[in-house]
Amino acid sequence: MRNRIVRHGKGLSALVTAGLMASGCVSPVAGPSGEYAHPVGDAPVIANPTPYSAALVCMAEYARAHHVNAPRIAIGRIADYTGKEESDGSGRKITQGASLMAMSAFAKAGVPLVERYDTSVSELELKYANSKLISDRPADSAAAAAAAEYRRILAGQVPGSDFYLVGGITELNFNIRSAGVNFAGAGPSVNDVRGQAGGSVFVMNVGLDLRLINTRSLEVVDVISYQKQIVAHEVSAGVFAVGNNNAFAFSAGEGGLEPLQLGVRSVIERAAVEMVGNLYGMPGPEACLHSDPLGENVTTGPTGAYVPAYNTVQTNNAATRQDPNRWNDRRDPDLRSDRRDRY
């Protein structure tokens, strides 16, 4: 009996060891790189567009080509009003970053943005500047710091907004419609093969209400309400058989849920398309049939927009920002060759 237990213990130990070896190179002692294990996965960082991102970029090109004097927009609070939370208490079901998505959407359309959502740093620096504690010149020593000129507060130095955007995510409806089918069958004998297969699909939706307000008059100049349906599906199949005093089971399945938060981004970008099209006086999608005379040397794209700090738009522009291989040390040949030269 004792020998059987010992043999069973050795077998279990060997099984655990084999499992640890199969799980990858993991060690309780850090290697030369300072890591216990290398993280899995090598997917590069890519753009996060929706089906409406191309329209937003087209609007930026239209405004630039037609010299449209775009108004300045401030993005306010776009809150989650659904009240839906995870059952395990881990947080909200809907993203709390809808305002950030709206900022990216309007930036893709080339709209000048002014910050009103988080002004904590600017307000603190303004307070320090008002106390003459901030200088814009680097100080190399205590004497230089004492002689440095303090930052002056000038009247009208902060540009104002012409319009601001507010609203909220107002709907999150689960299981609007669902359907499923299951099938199971077996032969009359106990040893006959048994099989089962099934599939299901369900639909939910998310809704959004936004309004654009004239900052000076507080007049609501644009109101948009959109919703997007989101689909999920699951398919599975399995086989069970008994033969030669052995039982065999095999099953497989596949499922997918359309990203819910990407659905929120989609309704925000669709609303931004309509609002910006109105502000630009754009006739409609037919205006996107014309090619951009400036080519790829632009600063707006599916990733957003930026203000060039230096004249490097020909090599660092919106097109390069959405390149999944750029700056990736495993995919960018220029970066790899540079690393080889240095190491």
Are 69 and 141 in a shared domain? no
Are 56 and 146 in a shared domain? no
Are 136 and 60 in a shared domain? no
Res. 317: pLDDT tops 50: yes
**CB-CB contact of 109 with 272 (8 Å):** yes
Spatial CA neighbour of 232 closest among 257, 259, 264: 257
Domain harbouring 317, CATH code:
3.40.50.10610
pLDDT tens for each residue of 322-335: 899 998 988 888 88
Q: Provide the domain limits for residue 128.
A: 118-158
**CB-CB contact of 70 with 121 (8 Å):** no
3-state secondary structure (DSSP) of residue 334: helix
Are 20 and 70 in a shared domain? no
**CB-CB contact of 324 with 86 (8 Å):** no
Are 166 and 86 in a shared domain? yes
pLDDT tens for each residue of 18-35: 555 555 567 788 888 888
Are 122 and 255 in a shared domain? no
Residue 7 CA, distance from chain mean position = 53
pLDDT band at 140 (very low <50, low <70, confident <90, very high): low
Are 306 and 318 in a shared domain? yes
Number of domains in the chain: 3
pLDDT band at 142 (very low <50, low <70, confident <90, very high): low
Q: Are strands 163-186 and 73-80 parallel, antiparallel or unpaired?
A: parallel
Whole-number pLDDT of residue 111? 96
Beta bridge partners of 300: 305
* Tokens (6 digits) for 1: 């009996």
Are 171 and 214 in a shared domain? yes
Q: CA–CA separation, 26 vs 158, rounded Å?
A: 54
Q: CA–CA separation, 13 vs 17, rounded Å?
A: 6
Whole-number pLDDT of residue 296? 64
Q: Are strands 300-301 and 304-305 parallel, antiparallel or unpaired?
A: antiparallel
* Tokens (6 digits) for 217: 């008059």
Are 128 and 219 in a shared domain? no
Are 19 and 46 in a shared domain? no
Are 134 and 197 in a shared domain? no
Res. 245: pLDDT tops 70: yes
- What mean pLDDT value characterizes the chain? 86
Burial of 31 (0-12, 13-18, 19+ CB in 10 A): exposed
Are 221 and 314 in a shared domain? yes
